[in-house]
Amino acid sequence: MRTRDQIIDAIDSAIDFDMVFLLTTLMLLVLGTIMIFSSSYFISKEASGSSFAMTLKHIAHLGLGMVVMGVIIRMDYRRFNSPKFVMPLLAFGILCCALCFVPGIGIEGGHARRWVRLAVVTLQASEVAKIGLVFYLAYYLSKKNKKVEDLAYGVMPLLAIVCVTSGLVFLEPDFGTALIIGMWSVFILFVGGMRFKHLAVLFAAGVPLVVALMILEPYRRARLTAFVNPWNHMQGIGYQIVQSMVAFANGGFSGSGLGEGTQKLFFLPAPHTDFIFSVLAEELGFMGVAFVLVLFGIWIWRGITIALATNDTFGFHLAISAISLVAIQAIVNMSVSMSLFPTTGVTLPFFSYGGSSLMTVFIASGLVLSVSRGARV
């Protein structure tokens, strides 16, 4: 029979990844599932006749995601540091974005073409592209770390790939996700060694372009106007943000109670996706919001700690890319819900309903945990 010490050693060897990061990931997923059940209860009933349909589908995605994350954790992430893996995955992500515009393959919803149907699987194209870029950025920076200091030969070739990807996403149209991809990529380049003066050049060129894209399109210009003063447009373009602010106000310090929120009763648009954070704020109040922020803070902190602890350049960039992608999207979503950023349709990682976005979170978390196996945290 095994002795107590042998059993402990066996457990330690089996669980050789960062447990704090894993437990935080699981807590966010559990809380996200609870909020999906609460926020989708009435919408699911209206859409399918069952109040549990969306929650059950989400749980199925959770099960698949857990398997995928488990496989990635047990793999050596260094296997991904190969052009034979990275380039086809990147190409597939870009191809998915292009296929959105092909009749019969691209799926239209809400005046946008953001999904592709491949055989029996429906994917959100931008999520596939994000995963491809995570691996490509890590691979590129680990191979050309010194060249990143050169704007023409180190930065621009990578940005060309990013611009093609974000440009296709922008045409879907999905301005919010395209902007996130752009901001995230520049941030990763800066972390990877891009000079500050080159960052300033990109900032000086990028900000006017973003502003122009916002004001030249009528509906984006209207959203910007509503962001400045939503109460003047509360029955029109400012309706979403006003209802979100009402949800936060109703929540107060301790919230109205789980499941007791009223804004999800067809007042707040997309309460189970883009504005699920507002439902959480109403039902769990300031305390619930603070708890979620703390969980995200721990998740990001442990991810950065893992990245800094590894002595492998590819592992460092892979972990930082995965962590920052999720973090930036979470910040944008929460900022929109709190009227700190103009309304844009991006999901809240771990919380919003949607299989593709949830799978991105599982893959990102799995990669960080895989890196943590070789790190000394």
Q: pLDDT tens digits, residue range 13-70?
A: 445 789 999 999 999 999 999 999 999 999 999 999 999 999 999 999 999 999 999 9
Is 9 within a domain? no
Residues 47 and 119 in one domain: no
Residue 163 confidence class, pLDDT cut points 50, 70, 90: very high
Summarised one tens digit per residue, pLDDT across range 248-273 is 999 999 999 999 999 999 899 899 99
Domain assignment present for residue 42? The answer is: yes
**Do 254 and 284 have their domain in common?**
yes
> Do the domain assignments include residue 6?
no
On whether residue 224 sits in a domain, the answer given is: no
Residues 110 and 195 in one domain: yes
Domain count, the chain: 2
255 and 167 share a domain?
Answer: no
Do 204 and 323 belong to one domain? no
101 and 208 housed in the same domain: yes
Single pTM value for the model: 0.93
pLDDT tier at 4, thresholds 50, 70, 90: low
Please report the pLDDT score of residue 218 as a whole number.
Answer: 85
346 burial via Cβ count (<10 Å: 0-12, 13-18, 19+): buried
Task: Decide if 11 is inside a domain.
Answer: no
The reply to whether 114 falls in a domain is yes
Within-domain flag for 376: yes
54 & 109 share domain: no
Q: What would the pLDDT profile of 292-316 be if each residue is shown by its tens digit?
A: 999 999 999 999 999 999 989 999 9
Q: Are residues 65 and 90 in the same domain?
A: no
pLDDT value at position 308?
95
Residue 272 lies in a domain: yes
Domain boundary among 216, 238, 266: 216
> Is the distance from CB of 307 to CB of 320 less than 8 angstroms?
yes
| Tokens standing for residue 156 | 């621009």
pLDDT tens digits for 191-225? 998 999 999 999 998 989 988 888 888 888 888 88
Quick: pLDDT tens for 110-152: 778 999 998 888 999 999 999 999 999 999 999 876 678 888 8
Task: State which residues form the domain around 196.
Answer: 82-216
